[in-house]
Structure 1
Amino acid sequence: MSTKTTGGRRGFLIAFIVALLAALVVVLVLTLDGGSGPDTAQPPPAQPVAVTPEPQAASQDAVAALPKSEPVSIDIPKIGARSTLVPLGLNPDNTVEVPPVTTPLQAGWYTYAPTPGETGPAVVLGHVDGNHQKGIFFRLKELAAGDRVSIARKDGTTVVFEVTKVHQVPKKDFEREGVYDDTAGPELRLITCGGVFDRSAHNYVDNIVVYARLVQA
């Protein structure tokens, strides 16, 4: 009896140890394998995404330059400025002429600059006021980027410019502003007086300069 009892206990103990070891092996395998449940599953490796480049915007200088042709009139709808254009040259002191102050609603174009539509900066000048009344460019400072300026030419074409910036420049610094500097494409400069009126000099201390580029020919 005693021998049978001891052998039975030993057999049970050996079976228990074998089962325990088997369970430990299973746990170890699952731990090394990382498990199989959704909480421990690793996401698949990211796949490269093909990127389609965005189309490039059209060049702002895409409008071709036109041959020389004298301008005959100007129209700036935003500020209600419309005028014929008279030719302007240089004064004896080499400053640019301006239209007669007695006719402040008359605008003029600078003949030593390119004509509007040619490559380079065409120049149109007008008074802010004169002869006790508002001038053709009285509201010039109200222009902003994106506004349009149309100029009719002697050859029957009309060129349209889009404003890119507006500067108020002290007259003493005007030469450094580069208003007449060469440009890669057809551009336009509109110039008038602005700022404070100097009564002792009978003139304004600043200039308003509008820069524009050709967008339609």
Structure 2
Amino acid sequence: MGMTRAQKARKYGESGGSTAAGSRRSRGAAARPAGVRPTSVHEMRPDELAAEPTRGSSAGILVGVAFFVGAALWLYYHLLVLQGVSGAMAHGVTAPELLAGGFGPEHVADFARGLGPDGHTGYKGVHATTGLFTPLLTGMGWLLFTGLNTPQRARKWVYWVVVLAYAVVFVAGNSALDAAVAHPADQGAAALASGLVVTRWILFAALVLITVIVAVSVVRRKLSDFAEGRLPGQRPRG
């Protein structure tokens, strides 16, 4: 059974019950002068704002996971799925999209004969599933990676245009390949498919170059911030 206020006063004195509350109030008053409201983030100058390390690291982890998933799917599609198409479906004839230097109508005709009707259906199914998810997820990973690590807005948009062009050309090239294999005598369809495949590989090389440039710039910024003591947890040098 608890003590009444009078019993507490007799045992601890009049100020005993209010000591903790008073100390809490005094600490709050010491932290901020009376009559001064806290500064809103919208009233701060740009040089007074600082990123929260926890949020930044969480975003970096998510972007890293997305980029890794996209890269892993790209490798799976080119090193396993298309190699299986070349071997099992086409009986040893290389899938046209693996030929970075392009191909002619003769190769398309050989590939179509190797596939046969059933193989052609399976080939179209590959383009409708893994061949569709690969450019979408890979492009998303590249968009997030370049967007997070490129502070210059103009350069960021240039990178994003390359990423989006790669995804569009990838999907369009798959459709052109389906049409060319379905009509192997159509030299125009084979030429269009070959041009899109070559463009796809050129854009992929550009994306690899962009990735290297962005990664090097990130390392240089981190080293510069470390040297100047601006990393989270470091004391600023002055």
TM-score, normalization by structure 1: 0.26
Rg bigger for which structure? 1
In terms of fraction of residues, the more helix-rich structure is 2
